[in-house]
Structure formats: C-alpha cells, structure tokens
Amino acid sequence: MDAINITAYDEVGYPSYVYPQTHPDRLATIATLLGMNPAPVEACRVLEMGCGAGGNIIPMAFDLSESSFVGIDLAASPIDQGRELIAALGLKNISLQQLDVMAFPSELGQFDYIIAHGLFSWVPEVVRDRILAICRAHLAPQGVAYISYNTYPGCRLREIARDIMRFHSKDKQQAAEKVGQSLAVIKWIAEAQTEKNSYANFLGEMSARLLKRDEGSIYHDELSDVNVPLYFHEFAKQAHEHGLQFLSEADYFERSADSSFTEEAARQLDQIGDEDTLAREQYLDFLKGRSFRQTLLCHREAEVVRRINPDQVKDPTRFCYTGRQIGISRDVSRKERSCCHHQSAINQSSLPPSGPDLSKGNQVSRVSHASSLVSGDE
C-alpha cells in the first residue's frame, strides 16, 4: 500500500456492525408512509459512503440479491477486508471501492438509497459539503438519503469528557495507550468526586458508558481531531442549500415526544409542528437533550405528506417486501454461518459476542415495520 494513502482507519480498525436503521427496507417504509414512491427494495441501487469493512452493506447485498450495492471508503485496509468477505460469500451484486468522497466519480450514476453512517461529523467541512452534494447529484428523484451525525445540545456534555480525554492523552503515541489513558482519567475524575452534584453524576455515567465501548470506536469517535456536532437546524439548512429536504428520522419513534415530558409539552410541540416541521424537530432535540441523529433526506422537489394515514399500512401493494427467510435446512444458512465467522475474524474481536446479526433488519417485513411505526412501538 502506498504510504501516502494510509489513514487512521488503516492503522486502528473501526468495528464494522450492521445498522438496521439504514436498511433500504426501513428507508422505503418511512418514505412510503410519508407519501413518496421509493424504488422497491428488491430491485434498487444502494450507495454507502464511509462503509468501512462493509459490515453494514454486505449483509444487505447478501439479502437482496436482485439489488446492487456500492460501498466506498477512503481507507484501503477495511475495503480489502470487506472484499475478502464478498469473495468468500460469492456475492456478485456488490462492489467495495477505496475512494475519497472528494473524488466521487459521476460515472457511478444514480442511487435509490444513499447511506452515510458515522461519517458526516468526522470529516472536515469541505467533505461534509461534498457528501450533501453527492446526495443531491446521485439520488434518484424519489430516493432517500440517510446521514447520521452528532448533534447539540446533547454533545455539549460529551464534549466535556472529550476535552479531558484528549488533553490527558495528547502525548501518547500508541492508540491503545491513548485509549487506556483517556479512560483512566475519566474514571479517576469520576471516582474523585465526593459531592453529589450534576457534574459528578455526569462523569459517573460517562465513565460507565465509556468502559463498555470498543477501543476502536473510542479512538476514532472521542479522540479524533475532527468531531463536529451540529444543531439539527444547522444540518437542515445545509441540506436545503444542497437542494435536499428533511424527510424523517430513521428511528421513527425518535420523532415523538415520549412519556418523559408533560402532556402539555407534547401538545405544544405538536402545535409547533403543525406550523413548522423543522422547528418541531429542533425543540424536540432541546427537550430530549439529543446527541446523535440519523436523519433521512429526500430531494426538495419531492412531495412529502407529513401526517401518516394509518390506512396506508393496510395496502399490501405498497408494503410487500418480506425479506429472505433463512432456515437451517437451506443452503443459505451455511453461507450465513461462514459469513459470521469471517466477519469475526476480520474485525479483530471488535464484534459483539454473537457476531453480526445478518437477519436483523433484513427479515423484518415492510408491513411489520410500517405497523410498528404507526403504533409507535418499534
């Protein structure tokens, strides 16, 4: 590998998981409920930017054999690992390419679904701009883009811990030492507190949460040079400037006021929403103290119906994807098992104990997705 191309993600791996909330089935379900007419997931084109080793996109390609998938990532090592897995599975409907989003070639064409998970907040402004520009230029007219990002106000708290961790580990050279020292300093400060106040509570919770996290994710998420949270209204404005509009959150239930608020606040929130969907989303973040968003975007020209009509869920012609049924008596189960084993190996113990769950998000039918979205019990 050319030395000039080695990135931090080549040197220290990032856990490559499945994210069901990015699956085309989820995106199509929400878009359909909101009045759009997205491409059928059984025959669609999907792009994932910053796909890492393909832990998310490869299972999708495995499941949706008639759809085609392209994953790109700046780092060569994870792309090589993903390609090995694709070869082992014999998949022909997916390609992974080592590619900077800044050099995205227009020949890659149009996609029905575009995914960028864990990328937007971790790249400089010029790259963030390019990600939105790619969504505008390469998303089909009824397509859906998924972009996750860190957000305020919740990230103000996380920044306290990040600043402490970065200060304490700044002179350490090795990733493992940096992570070890940054965890140690948070634990030390948390345990030093003798008074029960909000700072002590926060540090205690943060320390417990960090100790459960994977080393690679702490190194890249908490200690990275670039980690830019945005307020939702800032993200929505940037999307608008790129000809895109807010469609929904990928976890639809995130859009409701939950039982931790008074009924009065929930009613007022809905009143705000009747006038201005974007303002409602922003106030919801203030109410929840949200620190992470998984926002779905579509073209500004797409017509979006903001109030879901429950009758739509009953229309079988609109929600028909039932997913691939994986049974132990079928050849596919053997394939799937080898896929899990291979994943465990490439991720160097970064996977959850059970390995990636290939069925999660893939076997769920759009009917059940839609029902749970409407009833709010997903």
Ligand X SMILES: C[S@@+](CC[C@H](N)C(=O)[O-])C[C@H]1O[C@@H](n2cnc3c(N)ncnc32)[C@H](O)[C@@H]1O
Q: What residues contact 173, with CB distance under 8 A and at least 6 apart? A: none
Query: Which H, E and C letters describe 162-196, residue by residue?
Result: HHHHHHHHCCCCCHHHHHHHHHHHHHHHHHHCCCC
Q: How far does CA 298 lie from the centroid of its chain?
A: 16
Of residues 195-234, those binding ligand X (CB under 6 A): 220
Q: How many CB atoms sit inside 10 A of residue 131's CB? A: 23
Tell me the window of 72-80, 172-180, 191-199, 243-251 that interacts with ligand X (CB under 6 A): 72-80
Helix (H, G, I), strand (E, B) or coil at 219: helix
Query: What Cα–Cα distance (Å) separates residue 178 from each residue in 41, 75, 114, 185, 349?
Result: 42, 21, 34, 11, 19
| Interacting span for ligand X (CB under 6 A) from 50-58, 165-173, 185-193, 363-371 | 50-58
Amino acid at site 71: G
Pairwise CA distance, residues 238 & 149, whole Å? 13
Which of the stretches 94-102, 156-164, 166-174, 357-365 binds ligand X when contact is defined by CB under 6 A?
94-102
> Which residues, listed in sequence order, are joined to residue 150 by a DSSP beta bridge?
292
25, 63, 73, 214: which one binds ligand X (CB under 6 A):
73
Span from 97-105, 139-147, 301-309, 364-372 in contact with ligand X (CB under 6 A): 97-105
Query: In this chain, which of 23, 45, 83, 117 binds ligand X, going by CB under 6 A?
Result: 117
From 34, 41, 101, 147, residue interacting with ligand X (rule: CB under 6 A) = 101
Stretch that binds ligand X, among 114-122, 179-187, 252-260, 336-344 (CB under 6 A): 114-122
CB of 9 or CB of 319, closer to ligand X: 9
Q: Pick the stretch among 10-18, 276-284, 289-297, 304-312 that binds ligand X (CB under 6 A).
A: 10-18
Considering the rule CB under 6 A, would residue 119 count as an interface residue with ligand X? yes
Q: 355 near 16, Cβ under 8 Å?
A: no
**9 scored as a contact of ligand X (CB under 6 A):** yes
Question: In the complex, what is the shortest distance from the CB of residue 104 to ligand X, in angstroms, rounded to a whole number?
Answer: 8
3-state helix, strand, coil in the chain (%, to 5): 50, 15, 35
| Nearest residue (CB) to ligand X, 107 versus 263 | 107
Q: What token pair was written down for 165?
A: 């961790």
Q: What is the rounded CA–CA span in Å between residue 366 and residue 64?
A: 14
Between 7 and 368, CB nearer to ligand X: 7
Binding test (CB under 6 A) with ligand X, winner from 31, 44, 61, 75: 75
Options 24, 118, 273, 323; binder of ligand X; rule CB under 6 A? 118
- 3-state SS of 121-146? HHCCHHHHHHHHHHHHHHEEEEEEEE
Q: Is the CB of 224 or the CB of 368 nearer to ligand X?
A: 224
Rank residues 53 and 298 by Cβ distance to ligand X and give the closer one: 53
- Binding to ligand X by residue 44, rule CB under 6 A? no
What is the binding site for ligand X (CB under 6 A)?
A: 7, 9, 14, 16-17, 50-52, 72-75, 78, 100-102, 117-119, 122-123, 127, 220
